Structure 1
Amino acid sequence: FDISTTTETMSFFAGKSVIITGSSNGIGRGTAKLFAAQGARVTITGRNAEALKVTKTECLSAGAKEADILEIVADVGDELAPSMIVQKTVDKFGGLDVLVNNAGAFLMDPEDGKLCIDTPITLFDQMMRVNLRAVVLFTQAAVPHLEKTKGAIVNVSSVAGFPFATQKAIYYAMTKAGLDQCTVQTAADLIKKGIRVNSVNPGIIETDIWAKLGLSDDQVKKTLDMWGTDLMQIPIGRYGTPEDIGKLILFLADRTRSEFIIGQRIVIDGGTLLMNTLLCSFAQNM
């Protein structure tokens, strides 16, 4: 996918103001580059200042102007961070058109043999604060500005929030299920103000989340390659990229292309949820 700027690609978001939380890496960084390539004025935010600089550099390489990228180093889990980030964005760019609630925490207890429910409650609190509470606070802060522009909110959830068990990720799955309900409830409310709310629910994506779980580079590569080549796990035959998710986010953020899509949780997983792995395993061994 070529994100170089052209007259055609610049037209969709030229002059639009966008906030992308958790944009110092992964899906957030990939999405920021795509918005930048299409002429948007982008606020990028994350806890890691050095990683955020890399995102900014890649946005500039994609065609953004220096004045059109706002860097804010912040932890969205902090109570005052959401309102501060929204206000700084409005002060610099004069308004807000799109909010992408992408920042997320995925924490696991590494001790083998423990039941999921024995995972320390402190991990639940940390993930709930970032994965759900921050989304609510960002939404509250953004609504007055998005109402003026008839803007859009795109929440980045996960297939883990769907109604089946996700091994060793009990609290993460709970927060994403909560986020899906947040999408539905706010969509029903905010469309009255002309604001569209939708969610993207990715499957297996190549991001640094795996390294943050303590896997070595070699383990990450082996794991992703295993999933990517197992057609019973991912029928398309590869794992996803941040740009795969970013392209869907841009589609949902653009009213001219997706105005009639409201309150949806859109799965983007290469076909994973199509498969009944138990029956597939049975068929393979017949």
Structure 2
Amino acid sequence: MLATLDAHLLNLNDRQHLRGWQRFALEFLYFGIKEARACLFVALFFAAVVLVPRAGLLGVPRYDLLLLIALAIQGWMVWAGLETWDELKSVCLFHLVGFGLEVFKVSGAIQSWSYPDFAYTKLFGVPLFSGFMYAAVGSYVIQAWRLFDLRIRHHPPYWMAVLIALLIYANFFTHHYIGDYRWYLAACALGLYARTTVLFRPLDRERRMPLLLAFVLIGFFIWLAENISTFWGVWRYPNQLGAWSVVHVSKWSSWSLLVVMTFTIVAHLKHVKARIHVPE
């Protein structure tokens, strides 16, 4: 059924007869359908986060169950043709990048957050399922790129995009030792992508929006998902150990910067350079 839906979404017929509010309503409907479809892995994974009891099931700890569920979802998506092997490789890379960051952040010297529950699949204090939270972001970007037939105009030079992505990732580590340069990096990203536009096709016509706006919006929804996860005790920040509180809004900026890095990885691993316009 989902394969049929994908085929339909990727082959929408020309609808020149649509005008005014009818076109707006239908484009908005298809935009929502494509967004929901792109969030398939995200939705299923975070449904498991909410629904799996903290005590686990049948003697299996919660973190271990979440790992098994994430692997099952990922395997099913590849088997059903909803994700290609190349896309799976990209998702695995996001998992490794995220897991490396998690290991650093929960280490005894840093302790930015913690995973308080027991699990058999914990490594260096980090449950292996945690990497899928980062992989979920990558999965969304990959699926959205295909479903919306994304094109990028006025992309910055590749070496600059890669450099800013590496610096963003490095700052997640180094700000514990040499200061937080997040806002300087954000200013650099703002300058690099100020002219960059993303073209997308919700129905039969291309629409456009600033790529920076897309980064900010995706970062906001990740921040909301983080609040849900901490509310259900999947992990906790130090200020949430006594009682839950809303994750500080500054994390929104961190997630938006992470989306910049994610976008750069997808753009290269999916070999879409031919579809990205780099002005001479």
Of structures 1 and 2, the larger Rg is shown by 2
| Larger RCO, structure (CA 8 Å, separation 6 or more) | 2
| Higher strand proportion | 1
State the TM-score, normalized to the length of structure 2: 0.29
Q: Which has the higher helix share?
A: 2
* TM-score, normalization by structure 1: 0.29
